[in-house]
């Protein structure tokens, strides 16, 4: 009876074990299945694993000195060294360099070594009897393959990988160009926001001075309550404008930190706008700027590399019309033994092998080779057309950037004159109001004009710097100083 129970328990445990194994095997299948319904988010056990895996990939920490004011050049160096985008394209260029080395390896023979050892035992029939025989063996072989002639097929593949490597390197340079531009624009937006904060603070001080003057005059019976209320309203508006500018400055700081490749909450001190040199005019003509752009722009150079890639494809397509000749050699060292029933051991050792020449020539393929050649020719013409389109687009971009810079310089001069006039007008209006010659409405209007003039002056100054950075971005001048860098 106990044995029957033991057998039943054993069967039950076996079934449970099989069920556990099956559930373990099929659980990943169900975890990767689509959601059961569209009315709620989908979560699975694998999501937690993905979250855990994501925590392991932490970017390297960017050390920012809290007591240092960084210049634009220093910020650009930090961004080039720490922004992950440069690492991505750098590793892509290195991978493409490895692909080029793989293509070049086809110019050399391949050599493989094979060692075999084993024992065969069977029954050999002789007449009406079977005799057991044992055949131990050991063999070492070399397999040598080399393409002697292929009429440029390998060279075409090498040229194609060279063109891809050039395009990858130009793409690497273009990422640096874009990164320098992004950091520069974020930097100038931060300078503008900081300057606007300073201007808004000065406007608030002016509004408070007008309010205090109005309240003092009302206490002396020289002003009315509407005048005081108007002054208080102007002060509240100035306070509101200051808070809006403070928010814009925080956003600009986050944008700059993100461009550097660190957390948006990182506090970065930058040089004030007053310490940044301000250009007075454009140093060269638009024709010179366009010429430099056509020589330096890495995105245009990448387009030219595409022509080389298409030409390499054409070279491979032409090589397919001709035969290829290869040689193969397989020398082998064999050591063979034999033991047959009732007979002594036998042994043989020798150097064997084979050498073959292989000539492969496709005689007919239904026009596939001719079609591939026509495809390559069309690809070359398309790549040349893309280069022409890119040149036209670059010239237009440089022309626009050059015109914007000249416009920004002229606006800077006008903004300076406007600020000077608005400052004098406000001072005269406030002084006349204190003497009772002007009314409060004239003072508040002059104060608003001065506040707008301060804001316009800051914006005009940063627009000149931003336009200058945009011109350097469009011409490719921004990456010339760092063109020798070989790592991000």
**DSSP structure string for 98-147:** HHHHHHHGGGS-EEEEEEEEEEEEEEEEETTEEEEEEEEEEEEEEEEEEE
User: What's the mean pLDDT in 244-261?
Assistant: 89
Highest mean pLDDT among 26-40, 298-312, 321-335, 340-354: 298-312
Phi, psi of 385 (to 5 degrees): -65, -35
Quote the pLDDT of residue 435. 80
Which of the four pLDDT bands, split at 50, 70 and 90, describes residue 32? low
Which of the four pLDDT bands, split at 50, 70 and 90, describes residue 12? low
Long-range contacts of 134-137 (CB under 8 A, 24+ apart): 134/337, 134/338, 134/339, 134/340, 135/336, 135/337, 135/338, 135/339, 136/336, 136/337, 136/339, 137/334, 137/335, 137/336, 137/337
User: What's the mean pLDDT in 432-440?
Assistant: 79
Residue 313 pLDDT greater than 90, yes or no? yes
Nearest to 393 by CA among 259, 285, 299, 262: 299
Quote the pLDDT of residue 11. 53
Residue 67 pLDDT greater than 90, yes or no? no
Q: Please report which residue ranges of 261-367 form alpha helices under DSSP H.
A: 286-296, 298-319
Residue 25 pLDDT greater than 80, yes or no? no
Quote the pLDDT of residue 439. 79
Kindly give, in sequence order, each residue whose CB lies less than 8 Å from that of residue 150, ignoring residues fewer than 6 positions away.
319, 322, 324, 325
How many other β-carbons are positioned within 10 Å of the β-carbon of residue 57? 6
Quote the pLDDT of residue 166. 93
Provide the CA 468 distance to its chain's centre, in angstroms.
24
Report how far residue 360's alpha carbon sits from residue 323's, in angstroms, rounded to the nearest whole number: 5
Pair 222, 149: CB distance under 8 Å: no
Quote the pLDDT of residue 23. 47
User: What's the mean pLDDT in 104-115?
Assistant: 91
Residue 277 pLDDT greater than 70, yes or no? yes
Nearest-5° Cα angle at 339, 333 to 341: 165
Lowest mean pLDDT among 141-145, 203-207, 240-244, 438-442: 438-442
**Residue 207 class from Cβ within 10 Å (0-12 exposed, 13-18 middle, 19+ buried)?**
buried
Nearest to 444 by CA among 246, 237, 146: 237
Lowest mean pLDDT among 119-133, 198-212, 227-241: 119-133
Give me the percent of the chain exceeding a pLDDT of 70. 91
Give me the percent of the chain exceeding a pLDDT of 90. 41
User: What's the mean pLDDT in 33-62?
Assistant: 77
Residue 6 pLDDT greater than 80, yes or no? no
Quote the pLDDT of residue 155. 94
Highest mean pLDDT among 127-141, 166-180, 471-485: 166-180
User: Would you state the structure tokens that stand for residue 450, as one six-digit string?
Assistant: 């001065």
User: What's the mean pLDDT in 422-447?
Assistant: 83
Lowest mean pLDDT among 15-24, 87-96, 204-213: 15-24
Report how far residue 458's alpha carbon sits from residue 464's, in angstroms, rounded to the nearest whole number: 10
Which of the four pLDDT bands, split at 50, 70 and 90, describes residue 16? low
Phi, psi of 340 (to 5 degrees): -110, 150
Quote the pLDDT of residue 321. 94
Angle, helices 440-475/368-434, rounded to nearest 10 degrees? 160
Residue 483 pLDDT greater than 50, yes or no? no
Lowest mean pLDDT among 146-150, 409-413, 426-430: 426-430
Quote the pLDDT of residue 292. 93
Nearest to 311 by CA among 379, 368, 260, 374: 379
Quote the pLDDT of residue 317. 94
Report how far residue 165's alpha carbon sits from residue 185's, in angstroms, rounded to the nearest whole number: 30
Quote the pLDDT of residue 208. 86
Pair 475, 289: CB distance under 8 Å: yes
Selected residue with higher pLDDT from 397 and 46: 397
Q: Which residue has the tokens 């094979």?
A: 114
Report how far residue 243's alpha carbon sits from residue 436's, in angstroms, rounded to the nearest whole number: 33
Residue 484 pLDDT greater than 50, yes or no? no
Q: Three-class SS of residue 476? A: coil
Residue 485 pLDDT greater than 50, yes or no? no
User: What's the mean pLDDT in 9-21?
Assistant: 54
Pair 326, 133: CB distance under 8 Å: no
Nearest to 381 by CA among 316, 291, 313: 313
Quote the pLDDT of residue 206. 83
Residue 66 pLDDT greater than 90, yes or no? no
* Strand-pair category, 269-270 with 129-149: unpaired
Quote the pLDDT of residue 161. 94
Quote the pLDDT of residue 7. 52
């Amino acid at each position: 009876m106990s044995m029957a129970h033991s057998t039943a328990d054993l069967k039950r445990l076996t079934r449970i074990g099989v069920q556990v194994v099956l559930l373990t095997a099929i659980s990943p299948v169900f975890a990767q299945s689509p959601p059961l319904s569209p009315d709620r988010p989908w979560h699975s056990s694998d999501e937690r694993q993905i979250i855990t895996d994501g925590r392991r990939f932490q970017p390297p920490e960017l050390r920012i000195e809290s007591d240092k004011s960084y210049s634009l050049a220093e910020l650009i160096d930090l961004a080039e060294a720490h922004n992950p985008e440069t690492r991505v394209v750098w590793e892509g260029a290195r991978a493409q360099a490895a692909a080029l080395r793989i293509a070049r390896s086809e110019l050399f023979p391949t050599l493989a070594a094979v060692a075999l050892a084993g024992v065969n035992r069977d029954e050999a029939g002789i007449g009406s009897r079977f005799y057991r025989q044992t055949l131990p063996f050991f063999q070492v072989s070399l397999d040598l393959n080399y393409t002697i002639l292929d009429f440029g097929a390998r060279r075409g593949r090498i040229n194609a990988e060279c063109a891809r490597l050039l395009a990858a390197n130009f793409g690497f340079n273009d990422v640096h160009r874009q990164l320098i531009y992004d950091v520069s624009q974020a930097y100038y937006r931060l300078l503008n926001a900081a300057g606007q904060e300073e201007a808004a603070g000065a406007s608030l001080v002016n509004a408070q001075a007008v309010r205090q003057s109005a309240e003092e005059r009302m206490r002396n019976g020289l002003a009315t309550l509407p005048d005081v209320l108007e002054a208080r309203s102007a002060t509240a508006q100035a306070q509101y404008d200051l808070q809006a500018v403070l928010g814009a400055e925080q956003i600009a700081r986050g944008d700059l930190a993100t461009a550097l490749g660190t957390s948006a909450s990182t506090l970065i001190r930058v040089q004030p706008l007053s310490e940044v040199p301000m250009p007075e005019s454009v140093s060269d003509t638009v024709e010179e700027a366009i010429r430099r752009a056509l020589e330096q722009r890495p995105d245009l150079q990448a387009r030219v590399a595409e022509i080389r890639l298409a030409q390499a494809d054409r070279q491979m397509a032409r090589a397919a019309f001709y035969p290829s000749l290869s040689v193969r050699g397989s020398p082998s060292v064999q050591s063979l033994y034999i033991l047959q029933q009732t007979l002594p051991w036998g042994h043989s050792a020798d150097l064997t092998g084979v050498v073959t020449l292989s000539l492969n020539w496709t005689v007919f393929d239904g026009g596939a080779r001719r079609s591939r050649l026509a495809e390559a020719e069309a690809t070359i013409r398309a790549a040349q057309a893309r280069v022409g389109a890119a040149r036209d687009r670059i010239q237009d971009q440089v022309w626009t950037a050059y015109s914007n810079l000249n416009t920004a310089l002229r606006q800077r001069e006008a903004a300076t004159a406007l600020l000077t006039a608005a400052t004098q007008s406000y001072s005269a209006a406030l002084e006349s109001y204190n003497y009772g010659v002007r009314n409060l409405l004239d003072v508040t209007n002059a104060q608003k004009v001065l506040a707008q003039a301060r804001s316009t002056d800051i914006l005009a100054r940063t627009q000149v710097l931003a336009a200058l950075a945009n011109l350097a971005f469009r011409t490719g001048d921004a990456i010339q100083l760092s063109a020798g860098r070989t790592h991000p």
